[in-house]
């Protein structure tokens, strides 16, 4: 019988360690993975089976897993490659949602306050019966181009109830007011704000000479300022003392709460004016006027100024709608008396004559 050759035993040679790379979705991260994989393979690690073999718990042969990376290392590299894939994807919405969003944003562009037109056009003609002057335009009026078109503004309702306009007139008919009803509209400050309190007193004082010059050029019979606070600032600026009329209802003020117990005081009789009752309309006549050297074609030789409460919805407690309507009716009746030069009109002989160019 042929003798079986015995296999020659040879010492197993350790294969060269080569760097294995894992394909990644992005090229710029491949180099970092190769460096990390090289660092992991060059570090002498032993698999759990090799450790048991060295300790004698299992057969003492060299494990074939030494030629390949450990399962833990490979799992680590796969996990990192997945993380890179997740990071390479943009966290935006799906293409369908993204296209819908882009379409909606392109159809409705954002409008910023700085991009809106600054100020409203003046509705003025020469020789008007009355011009209503506000502090400055609101954001709503500034965006649509119509005076007093903000939500809740009571200006047009007051005009209608006082017979200044007819029922078919709305804020969109503002350009027609000078020609149809001899009513003009303008503002002290052209800059639009959400609230009038955003304007400084210095800015309002700087705009006063331009306003008086504009009024002297158009020569209306009456100018009505739609703000009691604005009238106080104007009379102070031109050094004409004027005491603002008491509002039908005082603004509520919160009293500080006291920690010590106090006895309840008996309720005092209310001194507030009933709704729709104005004590004396003469208190709303401002103590100055503009006087012109010659009368114009309409027979206007001077301009009188009246103070009226703001028609904004924010001014709804001290002056309610019924109070404002009463004041507008009184203003309309005085305007008719002034036009007719009736002796029943308010006495204006004591008013101070101011020079619009002297500021």
Question: Highest mean pLDDT range out of 34-48, 185-199, 261-275, 277-291?
Answer: 185-199
Architecture of domain 118-245+278-354: 3-Layer(aba) Sandwich (3.40)
Which one-letter DSSP state was computed for residue 266?
A: P
pLDDT at 324: 94
Q: What is the CA radius of gyration of the chain?
A: 43
Indicate whether 148 pLDDT > 80.
yes
Indicate whether 196 pLDDT > 80.
yes
Distance CA 240, CA 286 (A): 9
Model confidence over 29-39: pLDDT tens digits?
Answer: 555 555 555 55
Query: Hey, is 328 helix, strand or coil?
Result: helix
What mean pLDDT is predicted for residues 257-265? Answer: 51
pLDDT at 17: 54
pLDDT at 250: 65
Identify the residue with better confidence: 196 or 10: 196
Indicate whether 272 pLDDT > 50.
no
pLDDT at 276: 45
Model confidence over 246-260: pLDDT tens digits?
Answer: 888 765 544 555 445
Indicate whether 109 pLDDT > 90.
no
Distance CA 186, CA 119 (A): 10
Which of the four pLDDT bands, split at 50, 70 and 90, describes residue 209? very high
pLDDT at 254: 45
Which one-letter DSSP state was computed for residue 254?
A: P
Indicate whether 8 pLDDT > 80.
no
Q: Where are the domains of the chain?
A: 27-107, 118-245+278-354
Distance CA 266, CA 159 (A): 42
Strands (E), the chain: 130-134, 183-187, 222-226, 285-291, 302-308, 352-354
Indicate whether 141 pLDDT > 60.
yes
* Average pLDDT score, the chain: 75
From residue 161, alpha-carbon distances to 8, 148, 332 in Å are 120, 16, 10
Indicate whether 56 pLDDT > 90.
no
Distance CA 181, CA 195 (A): 29
Of the candidates 159, 178, 180, which has an alpha carbon nearest to the alpha carbon of residue 170?
159
């Amino acid at each position: 019988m042929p003798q079986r050759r015995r296999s020659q035993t040879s010492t197993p040679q350790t294969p060269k360690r080569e760097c294995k790379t894992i394909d990644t979705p992005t090229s710029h991260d491949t180099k970092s993975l190769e460096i990390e994989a090289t660092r992991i393979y060059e570090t002498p690690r032993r698999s759990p089976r090799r450790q048991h073999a060295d300790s004698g718990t299992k057969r003492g042969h060299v494990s074939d897993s030494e030629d390949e990376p450990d399962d833990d290392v490979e799992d680590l590299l796969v996990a990192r490659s997945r993380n890179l894939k997740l990071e390479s994807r943009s966290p935006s919405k799906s293409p369908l949602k993204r296209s819908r969003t882009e379409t909606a944003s392109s159809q409705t562009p954002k409008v910023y306050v700085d991009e809106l037109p600054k100020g409203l056009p003046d509705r003025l003609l020469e020789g008007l019966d009355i011009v209503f002057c506000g502090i400055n335009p609101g954001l709503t009026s500034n965006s649509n181009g119509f005076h007093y078109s903000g939500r809740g503004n009571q200006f047009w309702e007051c005009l209608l109830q006082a017979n200044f306009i007819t029922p078919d007139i709305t804020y969109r008919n503002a350009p027609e007011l000078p020609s149809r009803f001899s009513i003009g509209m303008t503002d002290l400050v052209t800059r639009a704000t959400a609230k009038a309190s955003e304007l400084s007193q210095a800015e309002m004082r700087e705009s006063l000479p331009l306003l008086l010059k504009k009024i002297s050029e158009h020569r209306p019979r009456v100018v009505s300022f739609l703000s009691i606070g604005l009238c106080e600032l104007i009379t102070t600026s031109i050094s004409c003392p004027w005491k603002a009329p008491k509002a039908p209802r005082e603004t509520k003020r919160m009293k500080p709460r006291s920690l010590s117990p106090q006895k309840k005081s008996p309720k005092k009789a209310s001194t507030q004016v009933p709704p729709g009752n104005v004590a004396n309309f003469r208190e709303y006549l401002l103590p100055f006027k503009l006087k012109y050297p010659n009368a114009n074609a309409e027979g206007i030789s001077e301009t009188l100024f009246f103070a009226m409460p703001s028609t904004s919805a924010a001014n709804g407690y001290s002056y309610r709608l019924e109070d404002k309507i009463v004041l507008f009716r009184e203003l309309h009746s005085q305007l008719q008396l002034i036009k007719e030069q009736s002796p029943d009109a308010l006495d204006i002989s004591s008013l101070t004559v101011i020079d619009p160019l002297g500021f």
